[in-house]
């Protein structure tokens, strides 16, 4: 097996950035979901309820990010100022940094509602649950865990069953793996090595309405697919619709496209 894609999402729910190589730290792939857009309540905005986010482009820079919308753009420097509170679902995160009024005004105009942009600093502010590890692990603004892993074999199985060609981009993975493996083999992995990094698989990834949206526009292309086919093909014992596996970082390092992927530990499917 080998690593065929490395992706980050610099601002949560905004478009993807692909890489040839990337460092992996305690918070996951470098630069992934370190920024987020907040509603006045502090809740993190996502494409689940705000599909227009797909139309806002973002590029990482040496000092922060460049955000573009409808021909206009703004440079945003990584903030080091006012602290605020964000909520990812019911998870309260204290100490994220507000990016200032200019960024808030630009995004509020683009989205037609009051929002603010915030940055997740390097401090481990948000621990995640890992039942099989005594070592604490952390995440940024990801839904639950710092890294999402998928395989091309599982996507191919889904596309055959659905009779359509869904792009992997719909599933917003960080690391995509390919090779001579069976569909859903990732359900049996417990620990894997990629490059100099070791990852522990902790939980299957439940899928949501974002998979039904065009990743470039946010427009829902089908109310049912690919969730309907996945629901028949790949559910957990509790009935959750699953595609991909969430992971935490056991050993930090660097990954490069083409790196060999080695399964260090496996077991029965974690969907059971």
Task: Kindly indicate the confidence band of residue 155, based on its pLDDT and cuts at 50, 70 and 90.
Answer: very high
Of the chain, the percentage scoring pLDDT greater than 70 comes to: 99
Burial (Cβ within 10 Å: 0-12, 13-18, ≥19) of residue 216: exposed
Pairing of strands 137-138, 147-151: unpaired
Task: Kindly indicate the confidence band of residue 103, based on its pLDDT and cuts at 50, 70 and 90.
Answer: very high
CATH T-level fold of 2-28+128-266: M1 Pyruvate Kinase; Domain 3 (2.40.33)
Task: Kindly indicate the confidence band of residue 81, based on its pLDDT and cuts at 50, 70 and 90.
Answer: confident
pTM score: 0.96
Which residues have C-beta within 8 Å of that of residue 108, sequence separation ≥ 6? 114, 115
pLDDT of residue 254: 98
Domain range annotation of the chain: 2-28+128-266, 34-123
| DSSP conformational letter for 218 | -
What are 23's strand-pairing partners? 254
pLDDT digits over 36-56, tens only?
999 999 999 999 999 999 999
pLDDT of residue 130: 72
- How many whole angstroms separate alpha carbon 194 and alpha carbon 209? 30
pLDDT of residue 134: 66
Task: Kindly indicate the confidence band of residue 202, based on its pLDDT and cuts at 50, 70 and 90.
Answer: very high
As a whole number of angstroms, the longest Cα–Cα distance in the chain is 51
């Amino acid at each position: 097996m080998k690593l065929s894609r490395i992706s980050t999402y610099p601002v949560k729910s905004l478009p993807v950035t692909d890489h040839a190589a990337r460092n992996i730290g305690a918070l996951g792939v470098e630069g992934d979901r370190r920024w987020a857009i907040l509603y006045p309540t502090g809740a993190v905005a996502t494409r689940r309820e705000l599909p227009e986010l797909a139309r806002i482009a973002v590029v990482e820079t040496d000092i922060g990010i460049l955000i573009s919308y409808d021909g206009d753009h703004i440079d945003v420097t990584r903030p080091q100022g006012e602290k605020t509170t964000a909520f990812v679902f019911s998870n309260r995160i204290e100490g994220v940094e507000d990016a200032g009024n200019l960024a808030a005004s630009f995004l509020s105009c683009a989205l037609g509602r009051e929002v603010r942009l915030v940055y997740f600093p390097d401090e481990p502010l948000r621990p995640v649950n890992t039942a099989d590890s005594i070592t604490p692990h952390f995440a940024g603004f990801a839904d639950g865990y710092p890294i999402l892993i998928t395989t091309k074999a599982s996507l191919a199985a889904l596309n055959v069953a659905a009779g359509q060609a869904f792009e992997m981009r719909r599933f917003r993975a960080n690391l995509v793996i390919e090779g001579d493996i069976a569909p859903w083999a990732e359900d049996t992995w417990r620990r894997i090595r990629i490059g100099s990094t070791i990852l522990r698989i902790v939980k299957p990834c439940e899928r949501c309405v974002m998979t039904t949206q065009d990743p470039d526009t946010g427009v829902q292309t089908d109310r049912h697919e690919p969730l309907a086919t996945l629901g028949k093909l790949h559910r957990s014992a509790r009935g959750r619709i699953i595609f991909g596996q969430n992971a935490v970082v056991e050993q930090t390092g660097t990954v490069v496209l083409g790196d060999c992927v080695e399964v260090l530990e496996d077991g029965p499917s974690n969907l059971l």
